[in-house]
Structure 1
């Protein structure tokens, strides 16, 4: 993995090769922690405040006391960019665990959280965003607190791997036929000019790009409807797309071998893609139909 040389860990900046933790680390042994992945465009964070808000919500949900206030931690992340002289597209991975202590299911007393963050180059998947991706559907076997961005991702990994083995990009997850989200992204379908997606309950991760999609839809006058829907609704959609920090707005053109509409990115997906590009200050993947 290629990462920038300077990382933030244990309260200071250091070279990545010097990063280490004690053997008994609760993130490693229990997945006792949370994380965020924040997109960077030309050396600037995108949706930084939304990600930091979610980080603090996740920390609160698992009763993990964070040693940094919001302003100081944002400053730390900005310093990480400066120290690495990062000017290109990439992402930051940041992780907070409860800390290092003798292994015990009960939370240790007087423990210092382990916090680290590193930068990684990340090109935009422009071709996928232009032409779309195939996906599969799978049962959602995750726990009931998916709104917490925790380190416990094994069910997500299994779903993503199954998608890869079937030659697909993602897996749309469902509970008894009711769609929740994808293994690593939120999912939406368009029908009769309206965008539908699962409500922001504990059953899904409240994506930061998902928040932006809702905002874009409101600005464009496109109805954004949060309600439960079925796998069959996805397959009968006019358009389907996913959103995530690393894949922006990506059309889904095939579900379980079934082609969505005509197998190309639809007009509303393109409008949302264009709104994203304008908001992020980046080159548009495509332009709305009226501008073509």
Structure 2
């Protein structure tokens, strides 16, 4: 199935040479992005993703080059062209193309880029066995709630995980467990759910928010609070969440190994599957 690409004002071949050398996303990482999962041809939590994209744009003082209705029409057209039932939509907005200068260009002429491709999925074996996580030292900037293109730390952390035969790296800041390089993390302790609070220094994950809502509906107590590595080592269960990984059980975090029996995690995996079927609708 083909990848579908869009740049600035037209659909293009994904391999076309489209981005100018002085695009600020290319030279500064000056831009924002979103990844939206598509189930059976329908985007999941679409408006939550667009809300976050708009918050990120506002935070970096960058005007968006479209109205939401215009973007929705473009995405619908892209999905129609791609004809990929299980897909990912990658949206990127840069501050535009201008001679290299750190200060904002005048005027700011932001540029939208989009790629629609087959969705990445987690294997059934990994879902059953659970993921291994590697703790890494926090070294990112303090505004991780902005879904910025500046992902070098995340790239390095993910590479460290792969080289350590782990699925994901988890940032730890002075003993406090925060989030993964591309995920949020939860601990189950005495039947209650614990996860880092939605402050400026983590990404406010869309799947994270869904899981918290589902947990409360199931009667599970949720604590959005800072938890240290010692508490994680004593946790009954651990899992991570993201748009592409959904709800993924964890078998090990560093030197700590967790039981194969995961009643809270399993109940949330099932609830998430039910929610997908209920809430995945056309734009």
**What SS does the aligned partner of 1:35 have?**
strand
**What SS does the aligned partner of 1:212 have?**
helix
Structure 1 stretches of 5 or more lacking a match? 283-292
Aligned to 2:204: 206
Q: Deviations for 1:137-185, whole angstroms, at most 9, x for unmatched residues?
A: 1111000000000000111111111111111111111110011101110
* 1:265 Cα deviation from its structure 2 partner: 5.1
* 1:50 Cα deviation from its structure 2 partner: 0.9
**What SS does the aligned partner of 1:110 have?**
coil
Separation in 1, partners of 2:249, 2:82? 33
Aligned to 2:281: none
Q: CA RMSD in A?
A: 1.4
* 1:250 Cα deviation from its structure 2 partner: 0.4
Q: Is residue 246 of structure 2 the alignment partner of residue 277 of structure 1? A: no
CA 182–123 in structure 1, closer or farther in 2 if over 3 Å, else same: closer
* 1:20 Cα deviation from its structure 2 partner: 0.6
Equivalent of residue 184 in structure 1, options 182, 201, 214: 182
* 1:131 Cα deviation from its structure 2 partner: 1.9
* 1:6 Cα deviation from its structure 2 partner: 3.0
Separation in 2, partners of 1:266, 1:207? 22
* 1:16 Cα deviation from its structure 2 partner: 2.3
Aligned to 1:170: 168
Number of equivalences: 277
Contact 1:179 1:230 in 2 (8 A): yes
Q: Is residue 106 of structure 2 the alignment partner of residue 109 of structure 1? A: yes
Aligned to 1:120: 117
Aligned to 1:249: 247
Aligned to 1:287: none
Equivalent of residue 92 in structure 1, options 89, 92, 96: 89
Contact 2:214 2:271 in 1 (8 A): yes
Structure 2 stretches of 5 or more lacking a match? 279-283
Aligned to 1:286: none
Aligned to 1:289: none
Aligned to 1:226: 224
**What SS does the aligned partner of 1:106 have?**
coil
* 1:41 Cα deviation from its structure 2 partner: 1.3
Aligned to 1:239: 237
Equivalent of residue 5 in structure 2, options 4, 7, 12: 7
Separation in 2, partners of 1:141, 1:228? 18
* 1:26 Cα deviation from its structure 2 partner: 0.4
Q: Deviations for 1:76-127, whole angstroms, at most 9, x for unmatched residues?
A: 212210122222x121111000001000000000232121111111253132
* 1:51 Cα deviation from its structure 2 partner: 0.6
**What SS does the aligned partner of 1:51 have?**
helix
Contact 2:37 2:87 in 1 (8 A): yes
Separation in 2, partners of 1:209, 1:19? 34
Aligned to 1:59: 57
Separation in 2, partners of 1:6, 1:92? 9
TM-score (norm 2): 0.94
Q: Is residue 80 of structure 2 the alignment partner of residue 78 of structure 1? A: no
* 1:62 Cα deviation from its structure 2 partner: 0.4
* 1:19 Cα deviation from its structure 2 partner: 4.8
Q: Which has the higher contact order (CA 8 A, sep 6+)?
A: 2
Separation in 2, partners of 1:251, 1:121? 23
Contact 2:24 2:95 in 1 (8 A): yes
Separation in 2, partners of 1:15, 1:162? 33
